Structure 1
Amino acid sequence: METDVPRVGRRVGELHTQGVRLYDAARTLLADHHRALDAVRSALAPLRDELVAKELESIPVSRLKDVTEGRLRLAALEAAGLGSVRAVYEASRFELRQIPGVGAQTADQALAAARQIARAVEETVSVRIDVDRPDPRTAALVGALYRLVEAGPELRRAVDTAERFEGRLAELLPAARPATGRLRLALAGRRRREAALAAVAELRALTAEAAETDVRLRLAQASADLLREPASEIEVWVDFEVRSAEYYSQLAEVSAHRTDVAAAEGFVPSEVAERVHAQPLDDTHRRVALRGYQSFGARFALAQRRVVLGDEMGLGKTVQAIAALAHLAAEGHSHFLVVCPASVLINWTREIRARSTLRAVPVHGPDRGDAYAQWRERGGVALTTFDVLHTLPVPDGTSPAGLKDATPAGLKDAAPAGITTTPALLVVDEAHYIKNRDTRRARSVAVWTERCDRVLFLTGTPMENRVEEFRTLVRYLQPDLVPVIRESDAVAGPHSFRKAVAPAYLRRNQRDVLTELPALLQVDEWEEFSAADQDAYRAAVLEGNFMAMRRAAYADPEKSAKLQRLRELVAEAAENGLKVAVFSYFRGVLETVRAALGDGVFGPISGAVPAARRQRLVDDFTAAEGHAVLLCQIEAGGVGLNLQAASVVVLCEPQVKPTLEHQAVARAHRMGQVRPVQVHRLLATDSVDDRLLRILENKNRLFDAYARRSDTAEATPDAIDVSDDGLARRIVEEEQRRLAGEQPD
């Protein structure tokens, strides 16, 4: 007992007090989190109940027989005027018993059947938030979700930490209490004494861990985030417009909305699904919450190691890849490589920096040698293009076979022989670019895939439509699987094909997994000017020609970075059978797009086209079988036309008047649209696009624009213009100063 004396008394009492404070902090956060979740559920319930009621109203009462296998007698209910399942569902047992011919058994059976149908309907209905028609109930829901979204992905980690500490401390604190005083410990029995001293030792370790990782501070910060009130209702609505996907992600998580699990998991066999579910996914270095199907995709890439992720466009393949990168970084890996077309390199750079804590290192352009050496030394995610990859020394210090002479001297110096910076994960975006194994880009990728243990190919092209192309991609990844890939699997349908190739391929479609997501997905497509673009832009700036600056990215169609990205978006939409509406302020830009896309393009619709002709163009576009493209001048095509056949919208440049964009998108994103609408806005870095967005995205202007929305504003784009008279002049002057500063002395 003498050796135990130093452990008891004041020091243990202080330790116990620290544990109590930590326990209280954990419980406080969990209580705040539960209140936030309850607020969302309370706001969601009446909206969902209304949707369920509408669905039940449309289901005839005769369907109750299906649930009871024909045993239910409905004649008396129908005679009493109960024509729908809703009428039965909302009736009480007493009310049904009052109907002549309805006994206790019939009433109970009818109610049970109606409730069973209602539960099934509740699992399928999806609450959508219409930002253009806000009402008090949806405002309450968005306001409740705001707290969870604003708290960010750190909230989930904080709650997990709180649950762990709360659960452990709930056991340790009572067990350790006898050791807080010498007399109390002395009066305890031998077993309680031993348990108390053991609990003190564990409590000391737990509080030390909490102090080292600032657990109390993190829990308190999470609680503060959950209690933070928005400045106004307008702020909440504007935030929802900007981050609607995050709001819907939180809504799906809180409401436990059930999607088709088999579809969300790409119809992979159970043994593959079990392996994927067993794969952990660390979010320490991730700054974005994942949808359930996205989490499965990231885990699939990690568990299967060398795979093709072929999700339909708009499902977030980039985010899933970043989640896999972030997990590997949390495991201690330091070097990663992304290979992509030049047109999406800037987007990858921005996404990695915005969605993770990982270091993005673009290895492109004249300074790529220095960037590559920096990546090799410091790590991070190196981002390069198919055309640059062949110049980079592979991990054994050589260039890809047959391409040694292409490596610039600077890169050879930057990466001497014997380097060991093998990427922990190689990501190849738009992997269908390497379907021809005889090309230089394909040979370069092949060399890197041979040296990397983990490889992730991304492509939105449905591989079951191109079996031979798929065999080519799998040959890079899992060559042993190639002999089992048969044409007959594809002929049997996409589900059969995906099951057959599940070890190396995962694909999900929008209609299967976006049932509760917003019908509008917005993506900013950032591009770097090509040399030709830059020359045209500089000339326009020197002339002080604001309009020429805005369309400079299309001055040389053969070398236009924006036009190249537009081609890629249209090609992917074509592969998926989606219709595309392309908008520009400039008729000349639309003519350039038309020439670039070739046959099968409708329009352009412009102010010079009579109204009747415009409608015929829209009708022909709508009636076209499968994929089609419609070109519209934004001031003409954004008003009065219904383009709900289009599920992809491309904006060739940002607009001075935001309502022009809003109306153009609204032509497709409206009642009658049965698919989510993807909006791709083509933007050029370090240009008028950058300057224009910086001004227009000022929050005060956004609030003002939202607050002043009206029927008049919706009908007439000129009714709201957040720009001022000197906007063009201001941007021109800024660009002239910036470019003058770049000139050599």
Structure 2
Amino acid sequence: MARGAQRQNGARTRTRGRPRQDNDGIIPVLARTVREVESEVQRGRVLPSIRTKFQVVGLLMREERARVKADEAQSVTRRAEELKRLDGIATILATTAARDTSLLGLLADDAAISDHARSLRRELLRAAGMQVPEEPARTREPAEPTAAEQRQVVPRSVVSRRLANPFLEPDYSAAAKLAVKPRRLAGWELIDPLLKSFEGGGELSCKDLPEPVTTRGAGGLELMPHQGRLVAAAAAGHRTFLLADEPGLGKTAQALLAAQAAGAYPLLVVVPNVVKMNWAREATLWTPRHPATVVHGDGETIDGFADIIIVNYEVLDRHVGWLGELGLRGMVVDEAHYIKNPKSQRSRNVLQLSERIRTRTANPLLMALTGTPLVNDIEDFTAIWQFLGWVDETKPVGELMAALEELGLTPADRGFSAAARAAVIDRGIVRRRKVDVATDLPSRRVSDVPVEIDDEAGRSIRAAEQSLAGRLLARYERVLQARTAGGVVEGVDHVLVRQVAAWERANKTTKKSEDNVFTMMRRIGQAKASPAADYAAQLARSAGKVVFFAKHIDVMDTAEATLAKRGIRYASIRGDQTASVRQKHIDAFTNDPDVAVVVCSLTAAGVGINLQVASNLVLAELSWTHAEQTQAIDRVHRIGQDEPVTAWRIIAAQTLDTRIAELIDNKAGLAARALDGADQEISDSSDVHIEALVTLLEGALEERISRQAS
């Protein structure tokens, strides 16, 4: 048998008849082909056909190298000569890939091999004089759905929306408009120089923004000047923003109003679970004419016709299918540093949706919101830039690529770094610090952060509220039945409601197994402990030191365990500490830059200490009086504080917590109007207790009346 034994994979044999020459076989064919690839890449013409040639040459070179090493029939000299020639081909491949690093992925073990690549492989083997058996026709079986695809759902209300508008057509004009062929920068590695241009520091990275067109949002709320400038930029036509303002500068409002200015509806908002309900609340306040819906679980309760769809990262994988087909005209990603790892599932979901929007919609609004765009290193920028459509996996694209070409510089030229950095910033990086816009901010403010308690703890809390409401209702009905004079009040007897609430507040004989208003609030505090600590950890990473306040020891214990799990160092101020231990913890928080959070008892640390090294605090549990809350905030907001202070009050949505927060705020608002800020009202905490009980009883009565009417 001629020296044409079966080659690797049993796919080819050598033609019989003539001795092997240096210009015979596969090596000369590979050498000619790789030179063609090298020449095209040098000219910046990395077409799909060139990428296929690069991949096939690489694969055949590997096969030939393995065959030569295993061919013991050849002399040692001959094998060495052929391996040397193959090394030359490998060198050309390497230098070519250095010009366009995306080519390297084609040689990965898991790289897909297209039908075109298989066909080209057979052509090159035949050109080398090899006999290549025809591949049998392959029947393509339906691919098994992946685990992620199996989890995907389509809510019924979304089906209704599709049926209401079945002729929604994508707009592909954006893709053609943004296609930019590199000229001067063809073949240059650009992502790394762009990232490094931000390492040197310099001026604050903030795009020039126009003066605000209006100082009010659609909901009638007053805008701060820095907020109005970003909204004005969106109104003027800018459509991509990395909004990196420090926490507390109103990024949520800016995003909602920018979407309204751009007409970017339907708008998708992807957020951490802890702030999902807060986004819905802010949307109601700032853009009340555009209904918002929140996706929970499989989304069966959403409004499929809403303008704003709010979904958390954890359930996004179930909804990427229908969201990609909805005709979205805008997308906001809150806490965008969550997608810093482009290989994570949540990042892939976000990037998949972003790409689909950009290819199907002309000029979509894309906004990445984060006070901490960089968590680990400068590479954290890349996934965010990719979401915004400024870069793809290997190079700048669209308007950014065009702007870099217009510079007339390459990474080897002096001045490229500063000019490239400015070009990236001009694409829409907006960064403002509290100290720079302090005149635009109130000196102190309280911002509510609603969280959902929807696990076993949430069910237990709602059951306990129903039980307490049922006990109040039973007492109310007993009193009505016992009345013999004074007549009967139609509907709800609000005077009696307050009497029942007062009796319950004063009742000292409630069974230990029954919940009262105090145990209810403690249950809610326990359920909020972990998400509140998560929020404190997020603030610590983005804005520096954070003060965490709680009323109960078990809430503090849970918070500290959560912070430890997140790798956050903390100090602790409790009522059972000696004075020296307490001061040691205060000093650690004040002086040690690595101690990011201090977990404080509201009663033990609410007065008498100075924690002004921080400008952010988290109120994990509600106070019963506005004065107690203010005392806690004043541990941070005091003489010597250089930065505006924000108190983040964690509220358990759809529980008694929400009503109590409103009651505390109403007390403060009344005092401010009545006394013009000269004095503070010292609210009686029993008033809040009674009002909370009134809320429960009136809700139970209204529900009963509604059932009777139906």
Determine the structure 2 residue equivalent to 1:536.
Answer: 460
SS at match of 1:628: strand
Determine the structure 1 residue equivalent to 2:380.
Answer: 469
Any idea what the Cα deviations from partners look like across 1:420-457, whole Å, max 9, x if unmatched? x4222111111122222233322222222123222111
Any idea what the Cα deviations from partners look like across 1:179-210, whole Å, max 9, x if unmatched? xxxxxxxxxxxxxxxxxxxxxxxxxxxxxxxx
Q: Are 1:374 and 2:301 an aligned pair? A: no
Determine the structure 2 residue equivalent to 1:430.
Answer: 335
Q: Are 1:350 and 2:317 an aligned pair? A: no
Which among 549, 568, 572 is matched to residue 583 of structure 1?
549
Identical positions, percent: 28
Q: 1:138-217 to 2 correspondence within 5 Å?
A: none
Q: Are 1:458 and 2:369 an aligned pair? A: yes
Paired positions, count: 435
Going from structure 1 to structure 2, the CA distance change for 1:590 and 1:743 (only over 3 Å counts) comes to farther
Determine the structure 2 residue equivalent to 1:571.
Answer: 538
Tell me, in whole angstroms, the C-alpha distance in 2 between the residues paired with 1:324 and 1:298: 5
Tell me, in whole angstroms, the C-alpha distance in 2 between the residues paired with 1:495 and 1:723: 63
Q: Are 1:685 and 2:636 an aligned pair? A: no
SS at match of 1:673: coil
Tell me, in whole angstroms, the C-alpha distance in 2 between the residues paired with 1:637 and 1:737: 38
Going from structure 1 to structure 2, the CA distance change for 1:740 and 1:357 (only over 3 Å counts) comes to closer
Q: Check the 8 A contact 1:546/1:732 in 2, yes or no.
A: no
Tell me, in whole angstroms, the C-alpha distance in 2 between the residues paired with 1:513 and 1:495: 26
For the aligned residue pairs, the C-alpha RMSD in angstroms reads: 4.1
Q: Are 1:312 and 2:246 an aligned pair? A: yes
Q: Check the 8 A contact 1:287/1:356 in 2, yes or no.
A: no
Which among 503, 506, 516 is matched to residue 545 of structure 1?
516
Tell me, in whole angstroms, the C-alpha distance in 2 between the residues paired with 1:617 and 1:663: 20
Going from structure 1 to structure 2, the CA distance change for 1:726 and 1:626 (only over 3 Å counts) comes to closer
Tell me, in whole angstroms, the C-alpha distance in 1 between the residues paired with 2:635 and 2:245: 26
Any idea what the Cα deviations from partners look like across 1:248-293, whole Å, max 9, x if unmatched? xxxxxxxxxxxxxxx9x9544xxx63xx539978978453333232
Displacement after TM superposition at 1:518 (Å): 2.7
Determine the structure 2 residue equivalent to 1:238.
Answer: none
Q: 1:599-610 to 2 correspondence within 5 Å?
A: 601-610=569-578
Determine the structure 1 residue equivalent to 2:629.
Answer: 661
Going from structure 1 to structure 2, the CA distance change for 1:423 and 1:738 (only over 3 Å counts) comes to farther
Going from structure 1 to structure 2, the CA distance change for 1:373 and 1:458 (only over 3 Å counts) comes to same
Displacement after TM superposition at 1:297 (Å): 2.4
Determine the structure 2 residue equivalent to 1:7.
Answer: none
Determine the structure 2 residue equivalent to 1:387.
Answer: 314
SS at match of 1:511: coil
Tell me, in whole angstroms, the C-alpha distance in 1 between the residues paired with 2:656 and 2:531: 19
Which among 257, 260, 272 is matched to residue 323 of structure 1?
257
Displacement after TM superposition at 1:530 (Å): 2.0
Determine the structure 2 residue equivalent to 1:644.
Answer: 612
Q: Check the 8 A contact 2:259/2:265 in 1, yes or no.
A: no
Tell me, in whole angstroms, the C-alpha distance in 2 between the residues paired with 1:520 and 1:571: 20
Structure 1 unaligned regions, length at least 5: 1-262, 401-418
Letter in 2 for 1:653: E
Tell me, in whole angstroms, the C-alpha distance in 2 between the residues paired with 1:280 and 1:709: 32
Determine the structure 2 residue equivalent to 1:298.
Answer: 231
Tell me, in whole angstroms, the C-alpha distance in 1 between the residues paired with 2:212 and 2:639: 41
Q: Check the 8 A contact 1:615/1:641 in 2, yes or no.
A: no
Going from structure 1 to structure 2, the CA distance change for 1:339 and 1:735 (only over 3 Å counts) comes to farther
Any idea what the Cα deviations from partners look like across 1:689-741, whole Å, max 9, x if unmatched? 12323433445984299859999x89xxxx75243396388269539948997
Going from structure 1 to structure 2, the CA distance change for 1:369 and 1:704 (only over 3 Å counts) comes to closer
Tell me, in whole angstroms, the C-alpha distance in 2 between the residues paired with 1:676 and 1:279: 22
SS at match of 1:371: coil
Determine the structure 1 residue equivalent to 2:192.
Answer: none
Tell me, in whole angstroms, the C-alpha distance in 1 between the residues paired with 2:418 and 2:320: 39
Determine the structure 1 residue equivalent to 2:684.
Answer: 721
Displacement after TM superposition at 1:683 (Å): 0.6
Letter in 2 for 1:297: L
Q: Check the 8 A contact 2:330/2:365 in 1, yes or no.
A: yes
Tell me, in whole angstroms, the C-alpha distance in 2 between the residues paired with 1:704 and 1:722: 18
Structure 2 unaligned regions, length at least 5: 1-200, 358-363, 401-409, 468-513
Letter in 2 for 1:344: V
Tell me, in whole angstroms, the C-alpha distance in 2 between the residues paired with 1:683 and 1:653: 8
Tell me, in whole angstroms, the C-alpha distance in 2 between the residues paired with 1:385 and 1:462: 19
Displacement after TM superposition at 1:504 (Å): 4.1
Tell me, in whole angstroms, the C-alpha distance in 1 between the residues paired with 2:268 and 2:388: 16
Displacement after TM superposition at 1:336 (Å): 1.7
Which among 428, 432, 437 is matched to residue 508 of structure 1?
432
Name which of structure 1's ranges 459-468 and 476-485 shifts more when overlaid on structure 2. 476-485
Q: Are 1:360 and 2:328 an aligned pair? A: no
Tell me, in whole angstroms, the C-alpha distance in 1 between the residues paired with 2:656 and 2:455: 16
Determine the structure 2 residue equivalent to 1:125.
Answer: none
Letter in 1 for 2:343: D
Flag as ranges the 4+ runs of structure 1 deviating above 6 A: 278-284, 484-488, 492-496, 708-711, 738-745
Determine the structure 2 residue equivalent to 1:109.
Answer: none
Which among 428, 440, 446 is matched to residue 345 of structure 2?
440
Any idea what the Cα deviations from partners look like across 1:496-531, whole Å, max 9, x if unmatched? 957754324221221222245333132111112122
Q: Check the 8 A contact 1:284/1:327 in 2, yes or no.
A: no
SS at match of 1:365: coil
Determine the structure 2 residue equivalent to 1:289.
Answer: 222
Letter in 1 for 2:290: R
SS at match of 1:390: helix
Which among 589, 597, 600 is matched to residue 629 of structure 1?
597
Tell me, in whole angstroms, the C-alpha distance in 1 between the residues paired with 2:233 and 2:204: 11
Q: Check the 8 A contact 2:588/2:595 in 1, yes or no.
A: no
SS at match of 2:686: coil
Going from structure 1 to structure 2, the CA distance change for 1:476 and 1:367 (only over 3 Å counts) comes to closer
SS at match of 1:318: helix
SS at match of 1:724: helix
Structure having the higher helix fraction is 1
SS at match of 1:456: strand
Going from structure 1 to structure 2, the CA distance change for 1:570 and 1:308 (only over 3 Å counts) comes to same
Going from structure 1 to structure 2, the CA distance change for 1:610 and 1:691 (only over 3 Å counts) comes to same
Q: Check the 8 A contact 2:212/2:225 in 1, yes or no.
A: no
Displacement after TM superposition at 1:661 (Å): 0.7
Higher Rg: 2
Any idea what the Cα deviations from partners look like across 1:542-590, whole Å, max 9, x if unmatched? 42233332132454xxxx56622531342232233x1111111111111
Q: Check the 8 A contact 1:343/1:527 in 2, yes or no.
A: yes
Q: Check the 8 A contact 2:573/2:599 in 1, yes or no.
A: yes
Tell me, in whole angstroms, the C-alpha distance in 1 between the residues paired with 2:417 and 2:603: 43
Q: Check the 8 A contact 1:343/1:561 in 2, yes or no.
A: no
Letter in 2 for 1:472: A
Going from structure 1 to structure 2, the CA distance change for 1:648 and 1:729 (only over 3 Å counts) comes to closer
Going from structure 1 to structure 2, the CA distance change for 1:279 and 1:477 (only over 3 Å counts) comes to farther
Tell me, in whole angstroms, the C-alpha distance in 1 between the residues paired with 2:704 and 2:562: 35
SS at match of 2:650: strand
Letter in 2 for 1:446: L
Tell me, in whole angstroms, the C-alpha distance in 2 between the residues paired with 1:720 and 1:680: 21
Q: Check the 8 A contact 2:563/2:569 in 1, yes or no.
A: yes
Q: Check the 8 A contact 1:352/1:358 in 2, yes or no.
A: no
